[in-house]
Amino acid sequence: MKTEAAILWPDADEWSVEEVELDPPRHADEVLVRMAASGMCHSDEHCLTGDLPVARPLIGGHEGAGVIEEVGPGCTAFAPGDHVVFGFVPACGSCPSCASGHSNLCDSGARITGGLQADGTTRHHARGQDLRTMLLLGTFSRHTVVNVMSCVKIPDDIPMDKACLVGCGVTTGWGSAVYAAEVRPGDSVVVIGIGGIGAAAVQGARLAGAERIFAIDPSEFKREQAQRFGATHVAASIEEAFGLVQEVTWGRMADKIICAMGVGHGNLMPGIMALCAKLGTVVVTNIHPALESEVNISFLDLTLMEKKVVGSIFGSANIRYDIPKLLELYRNGQLDLDGMVTRTYPLADINQGYQDMRDAKNIRGVLVYD
Q: Binding residues for Zn ion, per CB under 5 A?
A: 41, 43, 92, 95, 98, 106, 168
Which residues face 234 on adjacent strands?
215
Least distance between Zn ion and beta carbon 173 (Å) = 10
**d(Cα 149, Cα 80) in Å, to the nearest integer?**
16
- Of 116 and 244, which CB lies nearer to Zn ion in the complex structure? 116
**Contact in structure between 83 and 168 (CB atoms under 8 Å):** no
Least distance between Zn ion and beta carbon 47 (Å) = 11
Least distance between Zn ion and beta carbon 40 (Å) = 9
Least distance between Zn ion and beta carbon 28 (Å) = 18
- Of 90 and 280, which CB lies nearer to Zn ion in the complex structure? 90
Residue 239's CB: how many other CB atoms inside 10 A?
11
For 65, the 3-state DSSP assignment is strand
- Of 97 and 188, which CB lies nearer to Zn ion in the complex structure? 97
According to DSSP, the β-strands at 30-39 and 143-147 are antiparallel
- Of 98 and 347, which CB lies nearer to Zn ion in the complex structure? 98
Q: Which residues contact 167 (CB under 8 A, 6 or more apart)?
A: 39, 62, 63, 64, 65, 85, 86, 87, 88, 139, 323
Least distance between Zn ion and beta carbon 93 (Å) = 6
**d(Cα 321, Cα 253) in Å, to the nearest integer?**
33
- Of 6 and 106, which CB lies nearer to Zn ion in the complex structure? 106
- Of 95 and 118, which CB lies nearer to Zn ion in the complex structure? 95
Q: What DSSP character marks residue 20?
A: E
CA 112 from centre of chain? 14
CA 106 from centre of chain? 16
Least distance between Zn ion and beta carbon 335 (Å) = 18
